[in-house]
Structure 1
Amino acid sequence: MKSEDAEALPTPLKQRVLTAEGAEWGDLKPELRQLCALVDEGQAHPVLYVSGQHRTDHFILAFMDRLDRAGVAYEVRSSTMSEIKALYQLDDSPKGTGGSDTTHRQREMVELMGLAHERQASDIHLVVGHDITSIRFRVHGQMAEFGQIPSANGIELCSALYNSMCDVADEHFQPEIKQDARVSRRFVEQLGLFGARVATRPMVNGLLMVLRLLYDDQGKQSLEELGFHDQQIQLLKRLRSLPYGVNLITGPTGSGKSKTLQITLNLLARETRGTKHILTVEDPPEYPLLANQSPLGADESWDDAISNSMRLDPDILMYGEVRDLASAQAAFRGGMTGHQVWSTLHTNNAVAGLQRLIDMGVDPSLVTDPALMTAVINQSLLPVLCPQCKVPAREQVSALPDDLVKRLRDLSLLNTACLVGPGCPHCRQLGVVTRTLVAEILLPTHRFMQIFRKDGAGAARNYWVQELGGITKIAHTGLKVRRGEIDPRMAEPVVGPLDFDLYVLEDRHAG
């Protein structure tokens, strides 16, 4: 690894936990092993990993005193309890996984996932080339190089992950074909993750492996914290009160759809006080829910799973994704039989969700029934600027493209908009600290559906904004740019030009 962070990874084939059972200092009580681990990493002195929250614990200090009296020179490093647990669990070679070499690669992978987790990365990319494997993290939506290793090591790392750390996988790792898998619970729980998905694909010069890290994010547990507008939160509250209907959360991959579903279903569970049976079908479950969660079976189609779910006496159904005509028809069947149905779909905006369903082959009379098709929500995630180092856009006009400056001026945003700063300790030198949601929520009316059927999506979208007061995703983004929360240069590649609504919506004051 070439970066500073990369140097924190232990030297793979020399690591040994000296406080493990049977080792030199293996007489520690089990509860103390949860707080510390003395590790020989092949350097001059071993490293004592100590839980950062327990540095002054009496038993930790007593163990350090024992080491001092025995003349053991060691380095102390602050760690987490989950990382310390991982060190012990990987110290013994798992049976049937290929021996010590595999175990060392497992340690490296757990360490790599832990470092990604610390940075709140959503994805780890391993790009294996002829000679060099590049490791990249996606943090707050932005890709950044983490480090590089020789490709011989990179292939071993990918192979160890797939062959010995995954379930729901093919029989063995094959770099020459695309493969999908899921990291087993034993490993993800060590890192405080809810799950991790693996996908691979052969490339012209090697292999691409991507790990999607699935967090049980306790930091954001409300619609407000996700970034929804107050008016949108009221619309979502209305949807939760409806007895039946199909509600779709749409957006591109990585737009936070599953997180919105999690919070929505948990609100439903709390508001109904356990009087409603909430049942899910997911592939795979991505967040813990206050619901009966079920994974899609290995040989089960979405259509079969949805049909089965309706025989299990549910009140509220959540399907991880509408993927094809069969799953879409089954979802509508759930709505028609008196269930509240929630699912996801990939579209660019809310109205396009209706078009996508019809394009799939769903009967237009079902899609355009506002009592059945009760809502389409569309969302994207945008990086939030670091409040400590962001800079006012008006001070950087000369560095901005002329067309962007014109848009900001025309929309009266230039005086309050901010740009990403140089980075500081508060934001780990990234210039951004988290991501926020921008969204549009369509609750179609009878008149809206009439216009959609007769005049098309553009006319219906115009009616939604001009007559129903709909907030477009562009408008929601503009509000956050105005407050200095989002760099417009980061927003526009995701949601489009900030003046886009002026081109696609009718000016009600014209003429």
Structure 2
Amino acid sequence: MVLDNNDEFDFPGPGAWDDSDGARPVNPAASSNTGDAGDAREGSAAGEGGGVQEAPKWANLPVADAGIPGARKRKKSLGEILVETAVISREQLDEALKVQQATGKGQKLGQILLEKNLISEEDMLRALAAQLDLPYYTRLPLNDIDPALVEQIPISFCRDNKLLPVARDDFNVTVAVADPLNIFPLDDLRLILSTNINIVVSPPSIIDASINRVFERSNDDSKKAIDELNVPEIGVDEDLEETRDLLESTDDEKPIIRLVNGLLTRAVKEKASDIHIEPYEAEIVVRFRIDGALHDKMQIPKRHGSSLASRVKILGKLNIAEKRVPQDGRINIKVAGRDIDVRLSVLPTAHGERIVMRLLDKTSGAKRLDQMGMEEDLYKVWTSLIEQKHGMILVTGPTGSGKSSMLYASLMHINSTDINILTIEDPVEYQLPGVGQIEVKDKIGMGFAEGLRSILRQDPDVIMIGEIRDGTTAGIAMQSSMTGHLVFSTLHTNDSAATVTRLMDFNIQPFQISSAVLGVAAVRLVRKLCQSCREAYEPNDRELQLLGVTRDKLQGGKVYRAGSGCERCQNQGYSGRLGVYELMIFDDLLRETIIKSQDAKAIKRVAIERGMKTLRESAMAKVVVGLTSIDEAIQKTQTDDLDLGL
């Protein structure tokens, strides 16, 4: 949608699509009320992180002119509006007009301004709303949208045409649109709803996010489906459309299908990393792991456990008749336009099949290194480390501590066209452009060691091994790092110093470790305090000792703890997670210590003396600035209690 500077429109405004006149557009000026600049109609910006916020009810939002005086009183060109609102200068407009004239008006002015990066798409949309005398909103009143209205319209229609019905009264439906010049879908919508259409304008990103939230709420069928499971016949339906968006589920589908779809949709909406379906003697409990902690979500009658397990196993292409042995599978689904990879594990128990589904949002992609939450000095040291030409770099921590994210971010940082990066992973979690990624397939004898041997014949510069699990893999990786390759990998140890002794357990000699390893990073994820409901308090002397600071170093002498919860954090007190890091650099003194001593505590003591900040210290630094709580920092760094004598 690109406009010419000299284009003027007689375009339908509020109430313009009348069912009686064949949807013929009329001049909005005839039916619109005037409003002053800066009217409440525009609303405020989207919330933190680009989220959608609810605006006041539509009845309280008067028709205005998108904050641009005089737009309604006289027709203005798009270029004039952009100049008057100081989006572009008169000189920039004149220059763009010259370009347009040189192309024989074959190119629209708006396109020229966009290509020159003089305006954004939102600038153009805001100016267009003013020119057409249409309301412009940067928020939509999601809580006031009637679910019955939404259910009449396919989600694909709303997504494809960037529109969303947001309100209705006895005679009209108000529709938010991202392209007010595209009248054809509005005409279709008038026929679908059999009513008149009023339009308001909103940015495409706000409409997309609103569509997802509204349809998620409308189609959260899990609880309703449980009630409907009381019917005698419960089919599991073997047909599977993997590419269909689960938000398009309909009431015509079998209850068990809508139950599973509802669970997956709800888990994605709540940013859960895992879904646990746990059969017990009297009932089936469903729990979501959110920000590292499990939360009860619902109970399902025990008699439906077999149907539920069968439906999930069908999705994962598993054998539904086999209920005696564990099975693993994979499901590819789409929720709210996002591609989700689901890793499925089914385990027979005394009360039925226990199911765990791990969710990976492939659409979001891996984080960049500068998004990992490292402190500035640590970031500089780490980037210097991973830019070396050869050697071994290890990341350690328990399952779910952020090791893979750290490796992916590091590979993305060093990736360039003049190096060859190859990985062997189990599984491949994110697709990295320009990186050759190989997935472990143990069933056909393609393990880490076998894959690593093959990678070495592919002329790699950088190798990433998802995990060192045995002595064979450790030995090949160590040898590779000493023959001109930069090798990244992970280990399961409690801290960075324990990595040295773990390698020794794999029969790697101390002199090999000291020669090959460049550094080890221990990582943890701590929950981030909800910034809306966190509570400030004065720490006691014991807590100050743990923080390692005096009271006068704290802002107002206080720190924060989790509050009682709010809507933003789903009443948990925490929202999101942060990385905390312990980086042990292998300098000459530390290498000498490793050769002389095989004691992890002695190695750690020397590393601390050389300036290493421990996991506990890193976590407490997050407490001081109000990002997490003391309780959370202690819980996630418990290994330091013994090492430091706390």
TM-score, with length taken from structure 1? 0.76
Question: Which residue pairs with 2:262 in the alignment?
Answer: 111
Aligned residue among 212, 237, 240 for 1:80: 212
- Distance in 1, matches of 2:179 and 2:312, equals 32
Question: Which residue pairs with 2:315 in the alignment?
Answer: 165
Question: Which residue pairs with 1:351 in the alignment?
Answer: 497
Contact 1:19–1:33 (Cα < 8 Å) also in 2 = no
- Distance in 2, matches of 1:176 and 1:93, equals 22
- Distance in 1, matches of 2:288 and 2:424, equals 29
What amino acid sits opposite 2:550 in the alignment? Answer: S
1:180-210 Cα deviation digits (max 9, x unpaired) = 2222x3x257762452212232334333211
Q: CA deviation at 1:95?
A: 4.8
Partner-residue secondary structure (3-state), 2:645? helix
Aligned residue among 464, 467, 475 for 1:318: 464
- Distance in 2, matches of 1:491 and 1:262, equals 25
Q: CA deviation at 1:406?
A: 6.8
Q: CA deviation at 1:214?
A: 1.4
Partner-residue secondary structure (3-state), 1:310? helix
What amino acid sits opposite 1:285 in the alignment? Answer: V
Partner-residue secondary structure (3-state), 2:468? coil
Aligned residue among 500, 510, 520 for 1:376: 520
Unaligned runs of 5+ in 1: 1-16, 21-27, 39-50, 72-76, 398-402, 505-511
- Distance in 1, matches of 2:211 and 2:263, equals 14
Are 2:436 and 1:286 equivalent residues in the alignment?
no
Aligned residue among 472, 480, 490 for 2:614: 472
Question: Which residue pairs with 1:47 in the alignment?
Answer: none
From the superposition, tell whether residues 201 and 193 of structure 1 become closer, same or farther in structure 2 (CA, over 3 Å).
same
- Distance in 1, matches of 2:353 and 2:584, equals 41
Question: Which residue pairs with 2:328 in the alignment?
Answer: 180
Question: Which residue pairs with 2:578 in the alignment?
Answer: 436
1:297-316 Cα deviation digits (max 9, x unpaired) = 34112211110111112111
Are 2:486 and 1:340 equivalent residues in the alignment?
yes
* Higher Cα Rg, which structure: 2
Partner-residue secondary structure (3-state), 2:634? helix
Q: How does 1:15-414 map to 2 (within 5 A)?
A: 34=160, 61-69=186-194, 79-80=211-212, 95=239, 105-162=256-313, 164-166=314-316, 171-172=319-320, 174-183=322-331, 185=332, 187-188=333-334, 192-216=338-362, 218=364, 221-269=367-415, 273-290=416-433, 291-297=435-441, 298-299=443-444, 300-369=446-515, 372-394=516-538, 405=543, 407-408=545-546, 411-412=549-550
Contact 1:246–1:374 (Cα < 8 Å) also in 2 = yes
Question: Which residue pairs with 2:601 in the alignment?
Answer: 458
What amino acid sits opposite 1:308 in the alignment? Answer: S
What amino acid sits opposite 2:358 in the alignment? Answer: R
Q: CA deviation at 1:334?
A: 2.0
Partner-residue secondary structure (3-state), 1:425? coil
What amino acid sits opposite 1:212 in the alignment? Answer: R
Q: CA deviation at 1:449?
A: 2.1
- Distance in 1, matches of 2:257 and 2:163, equals 18
Partner-residue secondary structure (3-state), 1:130? coil
Contact 2:366–2:405 (Cα < 8 Å) also in 1 = no
From the superposition, tell whether residues 199 and 407 of structure 1 become closer, same or farther in structure 2 (CA, over 3 Å).
farther
1:212-246 Cα deviation digits (max 9, x unpaired) = 11134749733342221222211211122211111
What amino acid sits opposite 2:191 in the alignment? Answer: R
- Distance in 2, matches of 1:141 and 1:359, equals 30
Question: Which residue pairs with 2:79 in the alignment?
Answer: none
From the superposition, tell whether residues 37 and 481 of structure 1 become closer, same or farther in structure 2 (CA, over 3 Å).
closer
Partner-residue secondary structure (3-state), 2:458? coil
- Distance in 1, matches of 2:363 and 2:630, equals 26
1:161-187 Cα deviation digits (max 9, x unpaired) = 22x2225xx54464433222222x3x2
Contact 1:35–1:81 (Cα < 8 Å) also in 2 = no
Contact 2:464–2:488 (Cα < 8 Å) also in 1 = yes
- Distance in 2, matches of 1:177 and 1:205, equals 14
User: Mean Cα displacement is larger for which, 203-212 or 219-228?
Assistant: 219-228
Contact 1:252–1:348 (Cα < 8 Å) also in 2 = yes
Question: Which residue pairs with 1:426 in the alignment?
Answer: 568
- Distance in 2, matches of 1:101 and 1:302, equals 46
Superposition RMSD in Å = 3.7
Question: Which residue pairs with 1:24 in the alignment?
Answer: none
Partner-residue secondary structure (3-state), 2:300? strand
Question: Which residue pairs with 2:125 in the alignment?
Answer: none
Contact 2:365–2:430 (Cα < 8 Å) also in 1 = no
Question: Which residue pairs with 1:496 in the alignment?
Answer: 638
Identity of aligned residues (%): 26
- Distance in 2, matches of 1:126 and 1:52, equals 39
Question: Which residue pairs with 1:7 in the alignment?
Answer: none
Partner-residue secondary structure (3-state), 2:568? helix
- Distance in 2, matches of 1:464 and 1:174, equals 52
Question: Which residue pairs with 2:627 in the alignment?
Answer: 485
Contact 2:394–2:489 (Cα < 8 Å) also in 1 = yes
Q: CA deviation at 1:266?
A: 0.7
Contact 1:83–1:191 (Cα < 8 Å) also in 2 = no
Contact 1:114–1:191 (Cα < 8 Å) also in 2 = no
- Distance in 2, matches of 1:259 and 1:410, equals 29
Contact 2:393–2:489 (Cα < 8 Å) also in 1 = yes
Unaligned runs of 5+ in 2: 1-150, 165-174, 197-208, 220-235, 242-250
From the superposition, tell whether residues 204 and 368 of structure 1 become closer, same or farther in structure 2 (CA, over 3 Å).
farther
User: Mean Cα displacement is larger for which, 471-480 or 201-210?
Assistant: 201-210
Q: CA deviation at 1:151?
A: 2.6
Partner-residue secondary structure (3-state), 2:632? helix
Q: CA deviation at 1:435?
A: 0.1
What amino acid sits opposite 2:316 in the alignment? Answer: C
Contact 1:106–1:161 (Cα < 8 Å) also in 2 = no
- Distance in 2, matches of 1:424 and 1:492, equals 24
Q: CA deviation at 1:476?
A: 0.3
Partner-residue secondary structure (3-state), 2:191? helix
Contact 1:109–1:157 (Cα < 8 Å) also in 2 = yes
Q: CA deviation at 1:379?
A: 0.5
Question: Which residue pairs with 1:48 in the alignment?
Answer: none
- Distance in 1, matches of 2:596 and 2:214, equals 58
From the superposition, tell whether residues 339 and 171 of structure 1 become closer, same or farther in structure 2 (CA, over 3 Å).
farther
What amino acid sits opposite 1:176 in the alignment? Answer: R
From the superposition, tell whether residues 150 and 58 of structure 1 become closer, same or farther in structure 2 (CA, over 3 Å).
farther
- Distance in 1, matches of 2:159 and 2:345, equals 34
TM-score, with length taken from structure 2? 0.61
- Distance in 1, matches of 2:371 and 2:351, equals 43
Partner-residue secondary structure (3-state), 2:431? coil
Q: CA deviation at 1:341?
A: 0.9
- Distance in 1, matches of 2:359 and 2:176, equals 23
